[in-house]
Each structure stands twice: as C-alpha cells, then as structure tokens.
Homo-oligomer: A and B are copies of this chain.
C-alpha cells in the first residue's frame, strides 16, 4: 500500500474524527496543560503557576473542557481550605504519544517554517 492511501484516515469522514480532537487541542493552552499533568496529579494553583501567562479564567475553561471530554479527572477533597486534584485519565495519557510526534515535527521544522515566512515576506 502506497503512503498516500493512509491519508484516508484524515480525509475519512470528511475530517469529522480529526476535527473532534483538533477542536479540543488546537486552542492556546490544552496541550500545555496535558503535558504538565503528565508529571502526575496537580492542584489548580500548581497548574496556574506552572503555566506562565495563563489566566484563571482560561485555566478553568481548559480544565472543564478536558474533564468534559474524559481526558482529565477532577477530584474534590472535602477539606478546608478546599483541595482539587487534576490528573490525566488513561485516555488523556494516550494522547501524549501522538502529541509528542507532532511536537517533534514542530521542533524539527520550526526554523524552516520561520525562514520560509521571512522569504515570503520579502517577496511580497
């Protein structure tokens, strides 16, 4: 089987499956949060501190979406002050591998891409 026949996985149903996950991970913070939680369970404030630049609002929204999709578990401990632990589910952990594949590609080609952008800039 030739290489391009595999790409039916992407085009498959008009891209519905790949869209579902892209809509989840392609926002500004999701992959960063998932990668951070790969260390293990963390509290809201820990995540906030380990994610430079994120607002409380966006951290909350990102975690809610991940919880809703079953990629992150949210555990509330009945204590005062409250303690909430976030952790990757098994589904969430399984996302790490393909995410790393993409990150590897990004690191390998980011300089080429940026060079191409500058060259394009000067041509137009």
Contact = CB atoms under 8 A, between A and B. Distances in A.
Interface residues of A, number: 61
A35 B17 contact: no
Quick one: which of A10, A97, A105, A113 has the most chain B CB within 10 A?
A10
21 contacts: A4-B38, A4-B39, A7-B35, A7-B39, A9-B107, A11-B35, A11-B36, A14-B52, A18-B103, A21-B106, A21-B113, A22-B31, A24-B113, A67-B120, A68-B117, A69-B113, A69-B117, A91-B109, A97-B101, A98-B104, A99-B102
Interface of A: 3-4, 6-7, 9-12, 14-22, 24-28, 31-32, 34-36, 38-40, 52-53, 67-71, 91, 94-107, 109-110, 112-117, 120
